[in-house]
């Protein structure tokens, strides 16, 4: 069942980090964001809940290296905290 997202907030850190990414990663992230907005659990995104200290966060894949770290604020609302490699989990 599709789970559309209607509102996405972004932190200032997310915006800053996004602008520092290579242009091709920015383009790919924008395309994946469109998929995410249609269905947060689209299999191609590999959306997953994190564990340990980040247990209240989720992430989805941009490609094999990059991810977006986010949290659900409601059933159709999220906030993007960070984007980057696995280093964002530290």
Report the chain (90 residues): mean pLDDT per 10 consecutive residues: 90 97 98 97 96 96 96 96 86
d(C-alpha 27, C-alpha 72), whole Å: 23
* Domain-located, residue 43: yes
Alpha helices in the chain (DSSP H): 12-20, 23-38
* Domain-located, residue 14: yes
Q: How many domains does one find in the chain?
A: 1
Name the residue range of residue 41's domain.
Answer: 8-85
* Domain-located, residue 79: yes
* Domain-located, residue 2: no
CATH number at residue 55: 3.30.2310.20
Contacts of 53 (CB under 8 A, 6+ apart): none
* Domain-located, residue 46: yes
pTM, to two decimals:
0.93
């Amino acid at each position: 069942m599709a789970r559309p997202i209607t509102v996405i907030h972004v932190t200032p850190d997310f915006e800053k980090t996004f602008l520092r990414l290579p242009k091709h990663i920015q383009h790919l992230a924008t395309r994946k964001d469109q998929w995410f907005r249609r269905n947060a659990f689209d299999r191609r995104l590999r959306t997953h809940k994190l564990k340990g200290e980040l247990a209240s966060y989720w992430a989805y894949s941009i490609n094999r290296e990059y991810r977006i770290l986010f949290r659900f604020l409601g059933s159709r609302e999220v906030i993007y905290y960070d984007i980057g490699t696995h280093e964002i989990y530290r």
